[in-house]
């Protein structure tokens, strides 16, 4: 298949690109590089062993998207492009609605104009909000607690309505839990600019010595050890989940929402412990107050992905940490 990956140079897009290219698909990466580096494209070429088509552009440029969809005879789109920093979305909601919602409208207009009707969308577990029960299954009420989550839910609603309007559409919304880790080559991974806001890249930089000490946000939650628990999923498992979703859509039209998680939760202290083993480094930490907006614990019910897509996330937290460490330690040598 010919597959367009919007935001394909970013963290999850680049790992998915590897999986798709290695399975023999023709991929086209479309990205405005607002949160990624062009060098990732050459690193991907090194992993895959062949050249990659990369188009620099913004998804809000509908005309450019139409040209790309036609020129490369695209069969399916995976829509990763978007902004994802929760705090920034609270400070600048218009930016988030413009990128994430307006960007998706532009993409859908381009797809309608070129009659491309197969789409996988990067949604997030953040659409669920405060748990009414756990694990979150796909029927759990949606009630996002920040503008970033609002944009993901708005897009899901738009996609549902679009699929209802025309039975030819094939749409999967994948609700990711906490993607971490890196490709086994150590060439690509999660490399946020500035101080990382997420646990795993922060831990990795403490292990290399770039950052002094991890602040553990809260140790008085009602969880196994008092620290927050999340459903961490290896980015390569997540990447494979996208390929499974595309195969599923080949045979099933309509609108589908599926969780991509492991079904298990891991605490912050358990992550620290696994990272110390993987890196053979002591991680300095201190207990800090709870972070605003954090939930104590959430994790996925992952059964639907297994039954519908024939996919499960199998890689362990230890593999997540060792691959993240391989990537981070090779980055800091450069």
* Binding site residues, ligand NAD, CB under 6 A: 6-7, 9-13, 31-36, 58-60, 80-84, 99, 103, 122, 124, 176, 178-179
Residues in the chain: 334
Q: Choosing among ligand UFG, ligand NAD, none, which partner's interface includes residue 80 (Cβ < 5 to 8 Å by kind)?
A: ligand NAD
DSSP letter at 107? H
Q: Please, are residues 221 and 298 in contact by the beta-carbon 8 Å criterion?
A: no
Q: Choosing among ligand NAD, ligand UFG, none, which partner's interface includes residue 216 (Cβ < 5 to 8 Å by kind)?
A: ligand UFG
Q: Please, are residues 75 and 117 in contact by the beta-carbon 8 Å criterion?
A: no
Q: Let me know if 298 is a catalytic residue.
A: no
Q: Which residue has the tokens 């919602």?
A: 101
313 contributes a contact to ligand UFG by CB under 6 A: no
Q: Least Å distance between CB 52 and ligand UFG?
A: 27
According to CB under 6 A, which one of 131, 186, 192, 197 is a site residue for ligand UFG? 197
| Residue with the CB atom nearest ligand NAD in the bound state | 10
DSSP lists the bridge partners of residue 124 as 176
Q: Choosing among ligand NAD, ligand UFG, none, which partner's interface includes residue 12 (Cβ < 5 to 8 Å by kind)?
A: ligand NAD
Using the contact rule CB under 6 A, the part of the chain among 55-63, 91-99, 119-127, 275-283 near ligand UFG is 119-127
Q: Which member of 11, 128, 136, 148 is catalytic?
A: 148
Q: Choosing among ligand UFG, ligand NAD, none, which partner's interface includes residue 10 (Cβ < 5 to 8 Å by kind)?
A: ligand NAD
Locate 20 and state its tokens.
């798709």
CB nearer to ligand NAD: pick between 58 and 274 = 58
Spell out the residues 6+ positions from residue 67 whose beta carbon is closer than 8 angstroms to its own: none
d(CA 143, CA 91): 19
| Residue with the CB atom nearest ligand UFG in the bound state | 228
d(CA 21, CA 31): 17
Spell out the residues 6+ positions from residue 218 whose beta carbon is closer than 8 angstroms to its own: 226, 227, 228, 287, 288, 289, 290, 291, 294, 296
59 contributes a contact to ligand UFG by CB under 6 A: no
**Catalytic annotation, residues:** 148
């Amino acid at each position: 298949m010919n597959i367009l990956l919007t935001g394909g140079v970013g963290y999850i897009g680049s790992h998915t690109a590897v999986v798709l290219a290695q399975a023999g698909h023709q991929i086209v990466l479309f990205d405005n590089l607002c949160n990624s580096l062009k060098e990732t494209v050459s690193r991907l070429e090194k992993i895959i062993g062949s050249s990659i088509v990369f188009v620099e552009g913004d998804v809000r440029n509908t005309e450019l998207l139409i040209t790309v969809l036609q020129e490369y005879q695209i069969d399916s789109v995976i829509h990763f492009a978007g902004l994802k920093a929760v705090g920034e979305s609270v400070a600048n909601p218009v930016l988030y609605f413009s990128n994430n919602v307006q960007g998706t409208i532009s993409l859908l207009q381009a797809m309608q104009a070129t009659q491309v009707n197969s789409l996988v969308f990067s949604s997030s577990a953040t659409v669920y909000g405060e748990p009414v029960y756990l694990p979150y299954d796909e029927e759990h009420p949606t009630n996002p607690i920040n503008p970033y989550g609002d944009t993901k839910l708005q897009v899901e609603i738009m996609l549902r309505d679009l699929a209802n309007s025309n039975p030819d559409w094939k749409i999967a919304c994948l609700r990711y839990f906490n993607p971490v880790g890196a490709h086994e080559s150590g060439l690509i991974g999660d490399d946020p600019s500035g101080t990382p806001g997420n646990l795993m890249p922060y831990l990795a930089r403490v292990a290399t010595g770039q950052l002094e000490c991890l602040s553990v946000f809260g140790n008085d939650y009602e969880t196994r050890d008092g620290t927050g628990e999340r459903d961490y999923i290896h980015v390569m498992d997540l990447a494979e989940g996208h390929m499974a979703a595309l195969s599923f859509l080949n045979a099933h039209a309509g609108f589908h929402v599926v969780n991509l998680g492991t079904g298990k939760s891991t605490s912050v202290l358990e992550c620290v412990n696994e990272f110390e083993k993987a890196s053979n480094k002591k991680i300095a930490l201190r207990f800090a107050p709870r972070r605003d907006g954090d939930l104590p614990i959430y994790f996925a019910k992952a059964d639907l992905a297994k039954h519908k897509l024939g996919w499960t996330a199998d890689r362990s937290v230890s593999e997540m940490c060792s691959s993240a460490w391989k990537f981070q330690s090779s980055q800091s040598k450069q």
